Structure 1
């Protein structure tokens, strides 16, 4: 559904609330008109020498009552209208986050984190300011200008009012001239903030690499450059904003000058009384604040329009991975039989296919291992199985159903995947293992940790499973993060288990323990293992070898060794590497002993 606006839809959905807020603000504005009239009466009576004590007290009391009424109704109207703006801010930010959840991984591949943060915080904040200060000031100014002008015409002098108000329409022309400039500069300022946020996020995420390569100075220079750019963009915006404010104040000041000069002449000619002159200038003083605020509102509205356009661009980005029109809601469970028929797949911006003519069948409850060089398409294949990307129709089947016929919630709920990047959230270990819509008991979390061979590491922490992890789980080692990710997948007890190179950060002994523990979990479950170590895949029911997006070999471990092809070559090289490591370890002991003996002799 194409979304056309944010502001107007909010106003329409809360129309009566805005009417109530406007009514309260109108009462406050009407009460303000009593002050000039009371001051005029006081001045006329004082000039005539007819002001009595009782009259002075009565006028003072009425002024106090009017002031209290103004304060009361203005405060209530502000609370009423400002609450609506906070509701809009909360709703838009919630809708934005919900919409992001619907978008595919490909969308986030093309976005910077700094831009996303700027949209969620800065742009939504501007939206709030527009509905908070902008609407309030516009309502107050429009009503107060109308009623004040009527009062000035009817109670003082229409010609004085007309001539005094003549310069004010120039404010509209001024606002029109500054319109596009302020809007563009606001967009540039938000973009500069996004760049700066992205720079900080990238630096903090890669702080260990920065320090390891002694790049602090280079990073500081890059940050200084982005920081200065943000300052320059803000200065441009402030200059335009200040110039607009100064010119607006100049126009308002000229109206005051006309009022004082022309009004003074009319008083000297007895066209108006001194009290009417005081009342007129008090009316004009009441107008000046709202009129000047209108100038500020014009700037705010332009910033709001720029932010609204950026947010609408996100809201109108349609998710490319949703339940297909052919999806069958009655499919609730999967047994795990997988078949791929002549699958060829290209990423949206890729020039060449990543996968070419892939065909294979994985019976339910069996295991498939995928090996191959880096970039051969192994991870892409499993990403298509969970529809992180959309495969062509009639190419990927689960339980005999085209994957497009299976609701996304069912498909992803029945597949447990251990991703390659081992991402963990900065919450507790327990929350990371139990990361699922379904609640899990402590016993289930402990069982999953034991199967993943991470339980012994967890209980060594002071808070054990309630240990809070740092950003991206940084307080754990690479191997521990992988094993927590494995526990997170197996606790679901899914129909299909996918391990995307999930044992690369553990040693061979831990790998054997994990594989042994996974036997009970993998029993009667379809399992797909992507790996580089032959030791982690050799027991699979079938193994495929991929190269440049194609399946170049397939079979069992023994069958592939007999073919003496790419798989056999990988196995041979890994065996040589293991033998070399073993020999290095055997030679290291005597070498260390000789070094220690030599050091002892030198010391003696």
Structure 2
């Protein structure tokens, strides 16, 4: 249970509920002792009546009294058991809530590289299915474990007080039980881990299929992908059946051993009664009831062990992620105001997962209020520049500076809060268009939303929708076209009104006329902002204060539009090519 020790802090947090639940459990088990005693007493009274030791009225009065006491103690025990469940199970729900939030917050803090290395389905499975299995340990497993231990202690103590010899013979099967639990628990741990790993694979596969359903339909791959799902499902059935077979051993094994104990009680107890070691036949009835009261605790040992082993396997998977340290950390807890001057000083960067060097000794600077355009072929390192400014990654060499301060020394929240970012792949949430735009400023009113939508030249499109700004988008904004998604994403960045605006090829899906309208609006909007535009189009870059051309992670050209057009190089070739394409349209 090494991995489950991580949960000790939650037991400490909810120690009042925990110890209260244990106390109620102890009291409930003490009350459960009375019933067999009263039944044993009733049997003894009937025996005395059959031997003519006492009269009918006396035995009737005694039996009535015993029945009332049995009903009373059973009711009290039932009420206490209810409160035990309410205390411990509710506590487990609080732990589940806290653990899920802890995992989610940790997911938020982990760096971009982490999400490249791990699959979404697996991450979802660990925060849902794995946490649920851990809750089963914190709640039902702990509750029944204490219930079992306390019942064992209370009942066996009572049995020893009545007859040590009969108790010894009755409990002889317990060593066999202990070894059986050890062996089966070990098998459950192994098979539960394999089951959870398969479940993650299945969740990842289905999540990718649902996300990429348009591509699957376009390429008519439904049959092949369906066969892949069937294969994973078969593997899932195989692993779950393997786990179920081991779990299924517990019930019959426990009942068999309890049955043997009952036979021992009848045989040994009967022999002791015959030879006079036991004076009262009610003792045998009492022992049989005690043994059967142990049936559920003994049988539940397997269930408890199964839950503990499954929780151990799940917590191990959770701990793997919780122990993962984010590559990007906030090293400055103090407030860091950002004005907008940006400088790269011999910056180099290599992606760890692919070992691709994206930037090599890149140096440039952009003053507050200026616009820089970055052009270059695919894979030249343009998007990497933007990622380093917002600290999605940290440079391997050199320094990225904002306001003459290394970005690593700035408060991370202040840094990212000072940047309006429009990614290359516009991502919209499954929410209304209004809320997607307000993602950049949660307290924005409707007038502000409409104003930035107009600047992004998407307002007229939204007005044609039935529910206009209240239109709820499908997953990843699938309701909108590519150009509409890009423009809503631009509006989201504009409403943030941050001192730095980063645009990563965010006009690639719009026509040239719309692009020109958006750029004209941006020119007015960004007069006091530092703007960096990454693009493949000269039309997006020509009005920038400065343009740099990247190739294989190095700056090969830089200057204004007029300066670069008058130079023989990549920019002039691209300008002439795109100019001729425009004339042909």
If the length of structure 2 is used for normalisation, what is the TM-score?
Answer: 0.95
d(CA) in 1 for partners of 2:121, 2:252: 34
- Output one character per residue of 1:215-266: Cα deviation in whole Å (capped at 9) or x when no partner: 0100100110111111111011111111244333333332222222222322
1:491 aligns to what SS in structure 2? helix
Aligned to 1:22: 22
d(CA) in 1 for partners of 2:286, 2:242: 41
| Deviation (angstroms), 1:191 | 0.9
Aligned to 1:102: 109
Aligned to 1:269: 275
| Deviation (angstroms), 1:4 | 8.1
d(CA) in 1 for partners of 2:235, 2:578: 51
| Deviation (angstroms), 1:268 | 3.2
Q: What is the aligned length? A: 575
Aligned to 1:331: 336
1:134 aligns to what SS in structure 2? helix
d(CA) in 2 for partners of 1:306, 1:216: 34
Aligned to 1:312: 319
- Output one character per residue of 1:557-586: Cα deviation in whole Å (capped at 9) or x when no partner: 122122121111222222233334x2xxxx
Aligned to 1:588: none
Aligned to 2:349: 345
Does the 8 A contact of 1:328 with 1:405 survive in 2?
Answer: no
Aligned to 1:41: 41
d(CA) in 2 for partners of 1:292, 1:396: 64
Does the 8 A contact of 1:393 with 1:404 survive in 2?
Answer: no
Aligned to 2:361: 357
Aligned to 1:522: 526
Residue 377 (str. 1) matches residue 417 (str. 2): no
- Output one character per residue of 1:349-389: Cα deviation in whole Å (capped at 9) or x when no partner: 33342110101111111111111111111101100000001
Q: Of the candidates 514, 517, 529, which is equivalent to residue 513 of structure 1?
A: 517
Q: Of the candidates 252, 262, 266, which is equivalent to residue 260 of structure 1?
A: 266
d(CA) in 2 for partners of 1:259, 1:521: 90
Aligned to 1:301: 308
Residue 464 (str. 1) matches residue 468 (str. 2): yes
Residue 176 (str. 1) matches residue 176 (str. 2): no
Aligned to 1:194: 200
Does the 8 A contact of 2:198 with 2:235 survive in 1?
Answer: yes
Listed as ranges, the gaps of 5+ residues in structure 1 are 583-604
Does 379-388 or 24-33 show the bigger shift? Answer: 24-33
d(CA) in 2 for partners of 1:485, 1:521: 16
2:347 aligns to what SS in structure 1? strand
Aligned to 1:598: none
Q: Which runs of 4+ in 1 moved over 6 A?
A: none
Q: Residues 1-20 of structure 1: matches in 2 within 5 Å?
A: 5-20=5-20
Does the 8 A contact of 1:4 with 1:312 survive in 2?
Answer: no
| Deviation (angstroms), 1:392 | 4.0
Aligned to 1:597: none
1:6 aligns to what SS in structure 2? helix
Aligned to 1:439: 443
Q: Of the candidates 222, 227, 246, which is equivalent to residue 221 of structure 1?
A: 227
- Output one character per residue of 1:438-497: Cα deviation in whole Å (capped at 9) or x when no partner: 511111111111100111111222222121111111111111110000000011111111
d(CA) in 2 for partners of 1:421, 1:5: 42
Does the 8 A contact of 1:171 with 1:295 survive in 2?
Answer: no
| Deviation (angstroms), 1:393 | 6.7
1:76 aligns to what SS in structure 2? helix
Does 569-578 or 556-565 show the bigger shift? Answer: 569-578
d(CA) in 2 for partners of 1:398, 1:495: 11
Q: Of the candidates 451, 455, 480, which is equivalent to residue 455 of structure 2?
A: 451
1:465 aligns to what SS in structure 2? helix
Aligned to 1:31: 31
d(CA) in 1 for partners of 2:48, 2:467: 85
Does the 8 A contact of 2:421 with 2:503 survive in 1?
Answer: yes
If the length of structure 1 is used for normalisation, what is the TM-score?
Answer: 0.93
d(CA) in 2 for partners of 1:354, 1:146: 67
Does the 8 A contact of 2:336 with 2:415 survive in 1?
Answer: no
Residue 64 (str. 1) matches residue 71 (str. 2): yes
d(CA) in 2 for partners of 1:291, 1:578: 82
- Output one character per residue of 1:97-117: Cα deviation in whole Å (capped at 9) or x when no partner: 111111111111111111111
d(CA) in 2 for partners of 1:374, 1:446: 34
Listed as ranges, the gaps of 5+ residues in structure 2 are none
d(CA) in 2 for partners of 1:253, 1:11: 37
Q: Of the candidates 526, 550, 557, which is equivalent to residue 553 of structure 1?
A: 557
| Deviation (angstroms), 1:178 | 2.6
- Output one character per residue of 1:407-433: Cα deviation in whole Å (capped at 9) or x when no partner: 111111111010011001111111111
1:97 aligns to what SS in structure 2? helix
d(CA) in 2 for partners of 1:437, 1:391: 29
d(CA) in 2 for partners of 1:4, 1:342: 47
Aligned to 1:141: 148
| Deviation (angstroms), 1:329 | 2.1
Q: Residues 380-419 of structure 1: matches in 2 within 5 Å?
A: 380-392=384-396, 395-419=399-423
Distance 1:227 1:304, change over 3 A: same
1:387 aligns to what SS in structure 2? coil
Distance 1:388 1:570, change over 3 A: same
C-alpha RMSD of matched pairs (Å): 1.6
Q: Of the candidates 77, 80, 84, which is equivalent to residue 91 of structure 2?
A: 84
d(CA) in 1 for partners of 2:425, 2:263: 70
Distance 1:308 1:278, change over 3 A: same
Q: Of the candidates 556, 569, 572, which is equivalent to residue 573 of structure 2?
A: 569
d(CA) in 2 for partners of 1:213, 1:282: 68
- Output one character per residue of 1:383-411: Cα deviation in whole Å (capped at 9) or x when no partner: 00000011247511111111112111111
Q: Residues 241-252 of structure 1: matches in 2 within 5 Å?
A: 241-252=247-258
